[in-house]
Structure formats: C-alpha cells, structure tokens
A = this chain, B = another copy of it.
Amino acid sequence: MGEDKKDNLIQAALMLFEEQGYHTTKISDIVREAGVAQGTFYLYFKSKEDMFRSIAEACLEEIVVALQQGGVSKDTDEQKDYLMIRRALEVYHENKTILKIINRHGVGSQEIAGVSEAFYQQIMMVIKQALRDEAMYANYSEDQLEIIAFSKIGMVEMVAYQWFVVKNCGSETINALAQIIVGDLGPCKFKAME
C-alpha cells in the first residue's frame, strides 16, 4: 500500500516531466497528479532531483540490460550490424519517455549528469563487446572500437530522437530506419562496387 503511493508519484512525475520538462514540473504538480499529499513526496524522495536520479538510474539500467540481451546470432557481419541497430532502435523506442526527458528538456544537475555519463560508458562497453565479434573490426584497437561504438550510439540515439520523439513515429518505422542506417554501411560493400 505504501509502495502504491510511491509508484503513483513516479508515474505522475514521468508523465509530467515528459509533457512539460523537468524544470517546469513542480513537486506540487507531481503530488496533485499522483493524488497524494505534499508531505508524502518526502516520505519516498529526498528532493525532486533525488527522485529523478532514482528514476533515471532505473530506466537507463533497463536500457543497458535490454541492449545486452540483444544479438547472440551467428550471422554475417552485415546481419549482425542490422540486428544490433534494430535492437537498439527498439529499445530506444520503448524508452522514448526518458530519452525525451533527458534530451529535449535537459536536467541540469551535476549528479544526474554523472548518471548519464555512466550510462553512456556502459552501453559503449556493450557495443564494443559486440563489435569485437565482427570480422570487419578484427584488427581495430580498443580505442578505435570505442570511437566506432560511440559513433553508432550517437547515430541511433539521434535518429531515435528525431523519429520517435520529434516526429512521434511508432514502432513500425523501426525496420525502415534500421535498413537505411545499416545500408549506409552494409550495402555499399557490394552495391556500390558494382
């Protein structure tokens, strides 16, 4: 029953953060939306920032886990690449709320910037690991793989942001997006050579 209210608060906060941004949303808005008293907020969170940090940590952790469970296939590099990108787009689509909150409205707090930085380090590691299994990157150094990993993350994140958040497209666009993104790399290997 207690966790009930905490969950109400989190849901209300996520909705409001997404709608009007983190800074615009007041604690009084959150509690009103959640249907609890002002003081109840402080029963579960030390402050608005503390609340956001804990929500963000949970959401970003979910993304990392979802990405890790991605591709264990034994296909060609092109197929691996395609699956990885598609998987990443799917995950970002499912988590577009937090993506929107962090990218559009920003948060602006050293502590939360830390959470975000740690998140990128984690997914970079996941991607780097996946790249090591591709023949194409066989003789790339660790540093070079890191550059590739981050460039892929940026690619997916920007496309996901523009299509899922700005244009508000649904999951049916994922395949098309993934094909074009990968096609920019993959197809060239044979089509462009013809």
Kindly identify, within residues 62 to 110 of chain A, every residue whose CB is under 8 Å from any CB belonging to chain B: 102, 104-110
Q: Is the Cβ of A150 less than 8 Å from the Cβ of B154?
A: no
Residue of B nearest to A105 (CB): B108
Quick one: copies of this chain in the complex?
A: 4
Q: Please give, as numbers and ranges, the residues of chain B lying within 8 Å of A37 by CB-CB distance.
A: none
Given contacts A148-B184, A150-B162, A154-B159, list 13 more A-B pairs with CB under 8 A: A23-B108, A105-B106, A105-B108, A136-B188, A147-B159, A151-B158, A151-B159, A151-B184, A152-B155, A153-B158, A155-B158, A184-B185, A185-B188
Q: Which residues of A contact B (CB under 8 A)?
A: 20-24, 102, 104-110, 113, 117, 120, 136, 140, 144, 147-148, 150-159, 161-162, 166, 177, 180-181, 184-185, 188-190, 192-193
